[in-house]
Chains A and B, each alone.
Chain A
């Protein structure tokens, strides 16, 4: 299961926001992937996330396996709270 969003944070998904985001994702007991253009990154890898170079206004997708769909709500709530998405 996946959902697509537009990144609104000023600095894109870099350094500090990414560090905190990855910490949060790492605390979840499921695999999470972040997809941007043709690249799929393990959302628990700070290095992978940052090398996507996601900038403000760009579209990205969050994917979790279907049986763990409920975690997608949690992730969405986190991203909204931290103003990654609207």
Chain B
């Protein structure tokens, strides 16, 4: 048995499927027989083309012809005569190995492209890298993984699963994740909870310890991964899977009920989503609106900046589907651990303290304006709330408002309509907490991002698993900050929601309400569970408990106290 951090609940029994990210050695070495090396090159090209063809037909089946055209370009690049001739002559003249020759030639083209500094060419540079890595992997006999080709029930094992990889996940076959890196708030964990898949993170040496094809049991409650178990254990887990599924379906009796405590306090439980497709999940789990639409996936899943029209269509789709229910759309939150393949950012020593989120948007107004214009145009179609991430000074929100004002003038001049909307900010930096009174006068709502607030308060990188003990959401310091923010907001008569991981937790969520938070926004799969817990608890007790624990000095103490007062299980 091996153990990691449980980051998404559920159980699964399935075969291991390792996501290979081979390290390719491109050191120069002499070869005895250059012609044999060239033959290896041709073989590798052939195999690469077959693999691309396979991906292409698979892709056409799933996504249609248009989206799959990229693979035609990949086929051409694999077979490019200019690259081929250069590589062959280099192998012959320098008697060198294929991997060195190909890498050298490819690097030459990449340099040429970056000198031209053209958006379209940068797009091809990514493709060239992708294809050449495939050829090198084939030449070296390394396997590369294509998630879309999986046709069997599997549990994915990887260092970490990147955002672009998560977009290709097919839950028909993929039953869970095991990752070596990451924790509760890493992207793959968030996706796992969104898809209701069990996931265990921070499993050291998982790729070494687990073998492809071996059946394992993954327990997303305890973080255990079981290998070599006996039949009794397997039967026990099969039973648990059944029970858990029944539990999930019993939640369906809460569909359509208000999110209300026993003493009649009513709140709204909202959903966090990443793409317009997720609106289906919002309805399936009966969320009362969208509390956070992260727009990063609209940008990440692409080879170039999405146009104003593309973004407008995505926002319009979500707003229209949600009718007059609240939809909070957060502007681009890139930087830190999230980047875009086509947007070169300066290398930073401390990305989480760097030019990210609103800072990046304000430093690249051309990109920011496209998004704001798309949002303004979409505001006609529903109840739009625009959310600006990572505000740390008042000047930032003043600048944003100025840009919006100019954009509205442009729209007016062109006769393009826009509607009403609310403008809010994320409170996730300690300076914003201290400034909350002043900020509340500038905006229509607050949304507290607890993941970043915790990392910035404890000065502990949330992607560093050695520091996971610093991730203490219920530490009195964090609770005091939240209490301060809700006070400031209510003094200014604006609402506060929480959209971080805390809002999804069945213990922390109710505590947040006790601290004065008005609405909770969470992974759709947690909505009905949270509604059930609210139906078991009294708002008055939640408020009293919250007030009592504020003066404690450790998270442990807080947890002990709130477990006494918050009811998680009913009599049923």
Which residues in A have some Cβ–Cβ distance to B below 8 Å? 11-12, 14-16, 19, 22-23, 26, 41-42, 44-48, 50-51, 53
Contacts and interface: CB of A to CB of B under 8 A. Distances in A.
A41 B112 CA distance: 14
B121 A15 contact: yes
A10 to B, nearest CB: 11
Contact of B76 (A14, A19, A41, A42): A19
Contact of A45 (B80, B113, B118, B128): B80
B130 interface: no
B113 A50 contact: yes
B187 interface: no
B82 A41 contact: yes
A80 B112 CA distance: 28
A53 B113 CA distance: 8
A22 B120 contact: no
Contacts of B109: 47, 51
B82 A42 contact: yes
B77 A23 contact: no
B72 interface: yes
Given A23-B72, A47-B109, A48-B82, 13 more contacts: A11-B120, A12-B118, A19-B72, A41-B82, A42-B82, A45-B82, A45-B83, A46-B80, A47-B82, A50-B113, A50-B121, A53-B116, A53-B118
B160 to A, nearest CB: 31
Given A23-B72, A47-B109, A51-B109, A14 B80 contact: no
Contacts of B85: 42
A28 to B, nearest CB: 13
B73 interface: yes
A41 B80 CA distance: 12
Contact of B121 (A14, A22, A45, A48): A14
Interface on chain B toward A: helix, strand, loop, or mixed SS? helix
A51 B112 contact: yes
**How many of chain B's residues touch chain A, expressed as a range?**
10 to 19
B81 interface: yes
B118 A14 contact: yes
Given A14-B121, A50-B121, A53-B116, A45 B81 contact: yes
A24 to B, nearest CB: 12
| Shortest Cβ-Cβ A-B pairs, 8 listed | A45-B82, A15-B120, A48-B82, A14-B120, A51-B112, A53-B116, A45-B81, A47-B80
Interface string B100-144: 000000000100110010101101100010000000000000000
Contact of B77 (A26, A42, A47): A47
Nearest to A26: B76
A51 B108 CA distance: 10
A51 to B, nearest CB: 4
A27 to B, nearest CB: 12
A51 B109 CA distance: 7
B120 A46 contact: no
B121 A47 contact: no
Contact of A46 (B77, B112, B118, B123): B77
Residue from B123, B124, B128 with most neighbouring chain A CB atoms (10 Å): B124
A51 B116 contact: yes
B128 A47 contact: yes
Contacts of A44: 81
A62 B121 CA distance: 22
Interface in B72-93: 72-73, 76-77, 80-83, 85
